[in-house]
Amino acid sequence: MNRILRLFRQKRAKIVYRSEYMTAIYARDNHRAFDVMKFKKIRDQLVKEHLITRKDVLVPPRVSDEDLLRVHTKKYLESLKNPLIVAQYLYLDYVNPWDEFIFEYFRYVTGGTILAAEHAFEQDLVVFNLGGGYHHAHRDKAEGFCLINDVAVAIEKLRAEKKLRRVLVVDLDYHQGNGVMLIYKNDPDVFTFSIHGATWEEIDKENNLDIELPSHTGDAEYLEALKSYLPGVVERFQPELTIYLAGADPFKEDTLGDFELTESGLLERDQFVYQQIRQRKIPLAVLAAGGYGPHSWKIYFNFIKWVITKGNIS
């Protein structure tokens, strides 16, 4: 076994991915600013640099209706069986058969978020889903290209089956995780921590820390906010599991966000979150969340590579 692979075993990190993450969205490779090859690129680069082998990749199943119904209403889920409605939810002109597949994509990627959270919790390690983080979806409607709230579906499945109660959601996507916050508005056992540029809704929630930063925020101001507030939250809340939305859209080259974080600033952000959680031996599931433009894949890749090669916390 070569040195890097040995290190990977020591780090006890895993990747969640399956080819359906890509096939469902291939047909519309011009979709907005989103690089549809992003997650395949990350997987391929991890293989190319000998950072992972087939054994390090967990292949998720399609999420079941039972799991979806813990969060979403029956009426809303029924509506998603109609590809015309799906196209409307995603602000797209209906193109057959693409919109027949898109709900399937969400089913697989939600299965991936569940698997990442379950595996992290059971094995006490860090697991990266190469996708997920659809934090705008509500119980009864889609929003911001998010059909299924995979974060809440995973939390509710683990709570139902693993007797887990307290979950911290660290959401550092450029956009506010309003869907997750609303779903847990009256549930203080899910702490929602979010730093964002765009506030979608003012939400009054116990155990929520919502930090809005101005346009053009750079590394120094962003990292100062993160480092000032996150440690106290982790210390006081004592989560049994943390789900981290490591959105790449605060990147200065992102085509949607207007923050100016650099590649190294974002890696420092990810390292800080990782260390805050793992030094307290809290299981950590990481989701890709947003990130737009041709260079976006590199941000998540850098984080995974760092964990595999250097991120060990003894």
Residue of minimal CB distance from Zn ion? 290
We find the least distance from the C-beta atom of residue 199 to Zn ion, in angstroms, to be 13
Neighbours of 230 (CB within 10 A): 21
Question: What is the distance between the alpha carbons of residues 211 and 27, in angstroms, rounded to a whole number?
Answer: 37
CB nearer to Zn ion: pick between 52 and 289: 289
CB nearer to Zn ion: pick between 8 and 259: 259
CB nearer to Zn ion: pick between 67 and 254: 254
Restricted to residues 81-110, the positions that interact with Zn ion (CB under 5 A) are none
We find the least distance from the C-beta atom of residue 194 to Zn ion, in angstroms, to be 11
We find the least distance from the C-beta atom of residue 42 to Zn ion, in angstroms, to be 17
CB nearer to Zn ion: pick between 179 and 239: 179
Question: Rounded to whole angstroms, what are the CA distances from 61 to 47, 237, 255, 289?
Answer: 22, 32, 32, 19
We find the least distance from the C-beta atom of residue 252 to Zn ion, in angstroms, to be 15
Question: What is the distance between the alpha carbons of residues 159 and 165, in angstroms, rounded to a whole number?
Answer: 6
CB nearer to Zn ion: pick between 179 and 247: 247
Restricted to residues 49-78, the positions that interact with Zn ion (CB under 5 A) are none
CB nearer to Zn ion: pick between 265 and 290: 290
We find the least distance from the C-beta atom of residue 274 to Zn ion, in angstroms, to be 20
Q: Rule CB under 5 A: is residue 196 a binding residue for Zn ion?
A: no
Q: Site map for Zn ion, 226-265, x if CB under 5 A?
A: ---------------------x-x----------------
Which of 286, 266, 267 is CA-nearest to residue 217? 266
We find the least distance from the C-beta atom of residue 170 to Zn ion, in angstroms, to be 14
Query: Number of residues in contact with Zn ion, rule: CB under 5 A?
Result: 6
We find the least distance from the C-beta atom of residue 180 to Zn ion, in angstroms, to be 13
Restricted to residues 130-189, the positions that interact with Zn ion (CB under 5 A) are 173-175
We find the least distance from the C-beta atom of residue 286 to Zn ion, in angstroms, to be 15
Q: Site map for Zn ion, 269-308, x if CB under 5 A?
A: ---------------------x------------------
The answer for residues whose C-beta is within 8 angstroms of residue 133's C-beta and 6 or more apart is 113, 150, 151, 171, 173, 245, 247, 287, 288, 289, 290
CB nearer to Zn ion: pick between 135 and 278: 135
* DSSP assignment of 146-203: BSS-HHHHHHHHHHHHH----EEEEE-SSB--HHHHHHTTT-TTEEEEEEESB-----
CB nearer to Zn ion: pick between 52 and 226: 226
285 forms beta bridges with 127, 243
Question: What is the distance between the alpha carbons of residues 15 and 47, in angstroms, rounded to a whole number?
Answer: 11
Which of 16, 44, 40, 15 is CA-nearest to residue 26? 40
Q: How many CA atoms lie within 13 A of 180 on its CB side?
A: 34
Q: Where do contacts with Zn ion occur on this chain (CB under 5 A)?
A: 173-175, 247, 249, 290
